[in-house]
Amino acid sequence: MPKLILVFLGPPGVGKGTQAAKLAAEFKLPHISTGDIFRDHLKRETELGRKAKEFMNAGKLVPDELTVSLVIDRISRTDCEKGYILDGFPRNVKQGEALDKALAQRGEQVTAALNFDAPRQTVIDRIAGRALKEGRVDDTPETVKKRLEVYDAETGPLTPFYREKGVLHEFDATGTIDQIYGQLKDRVLSL
């Protein structure tokens, strides 16, 4: 199988993290999220981690350039030689363009952008259920709606970005976890 470079897209609560974890386990690929990358660099006290910490401590988003540098550093590790799954990155078109440029310098490109979507009320209900189950007080209906608005404005444009490149694959995320995963696995095997 050729190297798989997969980008998982979809609004919060749509189940992309669940699907990415299942696919990563079955295909033995690293499941990479920017949150995990930030935590790793902070723990190891790297220069990139110290720079990210300055923004995080100030309550600011880590700038695109620094986020891209952190991701490129992560995907350069030996465990990514056969491929990897990016979950939560890129977060906007600027990051997508930077990822493409960095991959092109390595003679690589995104194999597929896998977009998971569901009706907004389904997503809100899932997040509310997760909040109740996990005791997450930050997932109120108001904050969820705000996160969805931010997703639509910042990350939503990645769907046409990857569609234009011919690598976008869309999934209806309203089925069961196993139903969605069956469709996902079949699609990945056909790449």
Q: What is the CA radius of gyration of the chain?
A: 16
The sheet carrying 83-87 orders its strands as: 31-33, 83-87, 4-9, 112-117, 168-172
The percent of residues in the chain predicted with pLDDT above 70, rounded, is 98
Q: Which of 50, 106, 136, 145 is catalytic?
A: 136
pLDDT at 62 over 90: no
> What is the distance between the alpha carbons of residues 44 and 191, in angstroms, rounded to a whole number?
36
> What is the distance between the alpha carbons of residues 153 and 119, in angstroms, rounded to a whole number?
17
Question: For 136-158, what is each residue's pLDDT tens digit?
Answer: 766 777 888 888 998 999 999 99
In 3D, which of 113, 105, 186 has the Cα closest to residue 156? Answer: 113
The domain locations on the chain are 4-189
pLDDT at 32 over 90: yes
- Is omega for the bond preceding 30 within 30 degrees of 0, making it cis? no
Q: Which of 53, 120, 130, 163 is catalytic?
A: 130
Is 136 considered catalytic here?
yes
Averaged over 13-25, what is the pLDDT?
Answer: 94
pLDDT of residue 1: 73
Question: For 76-122, what is each residue's pLDDT tens digit?
Answer: 999 999 999 999 899 999 999 999 999 999 999 999 999 999 999 88
Q: Which residues are paired to 7 by β-bridges?
A: 86, 113
pLDDT of residue 177: 94
Is 130 considered catalytic here?
yes
pLDDT at 52 over 90: no
The percent of residues in the chain predicted with pLDDT above 90, rounded, is 64
Q: Do residues 92 and 158 make contact, with C-beta atoms less than 8 angstroms apart?
A: yes
Q: Which of 51, 53, 82, 147 is catalytic?
A: 147
Class of the domain covering 4-189:
alpha beta
Residues 6+ apart with CB under 8 A from 12: 123, 127, 144, 147, 148, 151
Is 77 considered catalytic here?
no
